[in-house]
Amino acid sequence: MKIVQDLTDNDFDRRVDFCEQMTRPINGNTIRVSGSKISNLRLVDDTTLIAASQEELVAVLNILEQHSAAYGLDINYNKTKVMIVDREHDNHREIKSIGRGEVVQSFVYLDSLIKNSGSCENEIRRRIQQIRVAMTNLTKIWRDHNITKATKMSLVWSLVFSIFLYTSETWTVKKADRARIDAFEMSTWRRMLRVPYTAHRT
């Protein structure tokens, strides 16, 4: 969910905090993380609300919208997505919208692809594609014989693998994912060293 702001950072934070506090009497559904109960997650103007039902979510959004409007804040429904996690009922794929929010099976949140199935396969594929683009952008460096191999390796770690590893600690990696990651890592080093895939080197 995106909240549109036209305020200083401190004013914006205080007003969003207050608006979210107003939803707590209705939004009783929480998750427990390290012993703490959490009903919402927020980073700057990105907010994630947790609700136990469609009715509860609509009520929470309505209250949040009313209190936000009093402070000159608006919910950007073009960027607001709803995800249903209910694996017993195939995540209710027949539902296309709740309130004014579009129901999706996956979306990018804080540069990570979130799926209601919990699978990380598509996120890993997406990151590998980002790495391919990053490696292509650095082609001139890989071809430069005046840059040492040690420097090139440092660049791979700092400019390439750092993109892939961002939030990777949250992934659930299956055997097939591990094989894909290993193959990608090998191809990345080969590309840096300019060793063709047909060359049998170890």
Measured CA distances, 89 to 50, 103, 153, 185, 192 (Å): 18, 15, 48, 38, 47
Confidence of residue 33 (pLDDT cuts 50, 70, 90): confident
Residues 114 and 174: their CA atoms lie apart, in Å, by: 16
Tell me if 57 sits within 8 A of 98, measured CB to CB: yes
Residues 86 and 117: their CA atoms lie apart, in Å, by: 9
Confidence of residue 135 (pLDDT cuts 50, 70, 90): very high
Q: Which has more pLDDT, 48 or 142?
A: 142
- Look at 6-20, 48-62, 161-175 and tell me which has the smallest mean pLDDT: 6-20
Instruction: Give the best-scoring range by mean pLDDT among 33-37, 66-70, 97-101, 111-115.
Output: 111-115
pLDDT at 51: 79
pLDDT at 109 over 80: yes
Residues 64 and 128: their CA atoms lie apart, in Å, by: 38
Which residues partner with 145 through β-bridges?
none
pLDDT at 158: 94
Q: pTM here?
A: 0.71
Q: Counting beta carbons within 10 angstroms of the beta carbon of residue 41, is it exposed (0 to 12), middle (13 to 18) or buried (19 or more)?
A: middle
Confidence of residue 84 (pLDDT cuts 50, 70, 90): confident
pLDDT at 124 over 90: yes
| The two three-digit tokens of residue 64, written as one number | 């949040």
Confidence of residue 125 (pLDDT cuts 50, 70, 90): very high
Residues 133 and 153: their CA atoms lie apart, in Å, by: 17
Tell me the percentage of the chain whose pLDDT exceeds 70: 81
Q: What is the DSSP track for 9-69?
A: HHHHHHHHHHHHHTTTTT----EEETTEEESEEEETTEEEE--SSHHHHHHHHHHHHHHHH
pLDDT at 3 over 50: no
